[in-house]
Structure 1
Amino acid sequence: MDYRNYNDNELVSFVEENHENARDILFEKYRPLIVGTANKMHRSCKYNGLEINDLIQEGFLGLSNAITHYNENKDTSFYTFAKTCIERRMISLIISTKRLKHKILNESLSLEGSDDDSSNVGLEIFLGDTNNNPENVLLYNETKIELINNIKSRLTDFEEQVFELKINNFNYREIAAILDRTPKAIDNALQRIKNKAREELSVKN
């Protein structure tokens, strides 16, 4: 069977039926996207000591996840879904690499000095000065992870990528470079995220 004659959705279906050759074709087909995305992101974060091959490897893991979890019944093409999964894996690696570098330099990212990396985020940049409202402070400290997940549910894919990078202390220039967008696009996204974050906080209150 020549799998090259089939579209992405058909190839994904073949993979589900344990046709490994179909997976190989998808990997070959999406290699240029993965390598191209890795090159763009690597130019912006190579100072962190991250190797481009590490990003490429994460990209293929993202593609593998996309193949496993794609639902063709949703209004998203496989290409769009795969691209999002690939970018998310690479961004997660960039974030974890930066965290490791900061740990080595004894620069904690934690707001309260917690050892739990899941709480090492700066939500105050989106929610404003919570210190003026005791109820907000209590909510912020007790339900931080839940709040992050709820905020993410309100965001577009692009906004979620910006959000992940910003709460992990990447600046505008770094985010723009990693996502290959203009600083203005990042600024606009951050303003939308701030509004959605505050809306989520008001719902909780």
Structure 2
Amino acid sequence: MLNPECYETVPDEKLVLLAQQNRQAMESLILRYTGFVWNQVRQFQGQTEAEDLAQEGFLGLISAVCRYDPKRGASFSAFAVRCITNHMISALRRCRNLPLPVGASDVPPLSQVEDPADLPDFAAQSRIQSTAMICTMVSRLSRREYQVCMLIYSGLSYEQAAQKLNISVKSVDNALQRARRKLRAAAGESM
């Protein structure tokens, strides 16, 4: 296992495999994709609260980590970009039943994401706080709660997750309920 400070140089494809079992690797991926998430929020500006849309983007990133399969040949960044954008668009549709914004399918590459140093102070601070909140939520979970969340979010049933972790279905449910309480508490503290 790598030291947390080494994650900065790890390629996405390797880091995503580590993030499926390691919270520090997940935090590194979240930090790596924060600029892109906020760039997408800006594209949908005015259609919903920026913080809510950013959280949907981060959930899309976590979903991408859970579902990424390197055998399919796509790079993780391409897959993550699509998952993040689709999560945001789905949230907009659910909340307001809006049509797709013009150009919503035209996702800029990560190289075009705005540098946080060029943002006004209030916008940069908002991004930092949101990213810190997501990282805090991930870091508050126990190892078992993190594993259960990753497995359930990747689409496994309670039974499949229990079998994979060699625990009972009730233990899976208990871990998931504890994780949800911790995440709600962490989200409430950040407000």
Give me the TM-score of the superposition, normalised by structure 2.
0.50
- Contact kept in structure 1, 2:44 and 2:101, CA below 8 Å: no
Q: Alignment partner for residue 82 of structure 1, among 77, 80, 83? A: 80
Question: 1:178, CA displacement in angstroms?
Answer: 4.1
Q: Structure 1 CA distance, aligned partners of 2:62 and 2:18?
A: 14
% of aligned pairs identical?
Answer: 28
Q: Alignment partner for residue 176 of structure 1, among 87, 97, 102? A: 102
Q: Structure 1 CA distance, aligned partners of 2:87 and 2:22?
A: 25
- CA 72–57 in structure 1, closer or farther in 2 if over 3 Å, else same: same
Structure number with greater Rg is 1
Query: For residues 64-75 of structure 1, what are the structure 2 equivalents within 5 Å?
Result: 64-75=62-73
Amino acid at match of 2:25: A
- Contact kept in structure 1, 2:61 and 2:80, CA below 8 Å: yes
Query: For residues 1-205 of structure 1, what are the structure 2 equivalents within 5 Å?
Result: 1=3, 2-16=6-20, 18-42=21-45, 46=46, 48=47, 50-99=48-97, 170=99, 175-176=101-102, 178-179=104-105
* Post-superposition CA distance 1:115-169 (Å, at most 9, x none): xxxxxxxxxxxxxxxxxxxxxxxxxxxxxxxxxxxxxxxxxxxxxxxxxxxxx6x
Amino acid at match of 1:7: P
- Following TM superposition, the consecutive aligned residue runs of length 4 or more in structure 1 with deviations greater than 3 angstroms are 177-181
- Contact kept in structure 1, 2:70 and 2:76, CA below 8 Å: yes
- CA 176–74 in structure 1, closer or farther in 2 if over 3 Å, else same: same
Give me the TM-score of the superposition, normalised by structure 1.
0.47
Q: How many correspondences in the alignment?
A: 103
- CA 26–180 in structure 1, closer or farther in 2 if over 3 Å, else same: same
List gaps (5 residues or longer) in structure 1.
100-167, 182-205
Question: 1:15, CA displacement in angstroms?
Answer: 1.6
Q: Calculate the aligned-residue CA RMSD, in Å.
A: 1.8
Q: Structure 2 CA distance, aligned partners of 1:180 and 1:52?
A: 20
Amino acid at match of 1:14: L
Question: 1:175, CA displacement in angstroms?
Answer: 2.8
- Contact kept in structure 2, 1:41 and 1:179, CA below 8 Å: no
Question: 1:3, CA displacement in angstroms?
Answer: 1.2
Amino acid at match of 2:54: I
List gaps (5 residues or longer) in structure 2.
108-191
Q: Structure 1 CA distance, aligned partners of 2:73 and 2:19?
A: 21
Question: 1:70, CA displacement in angstroms?
Answer: 0.1
Amino acid at match of 1:9: E
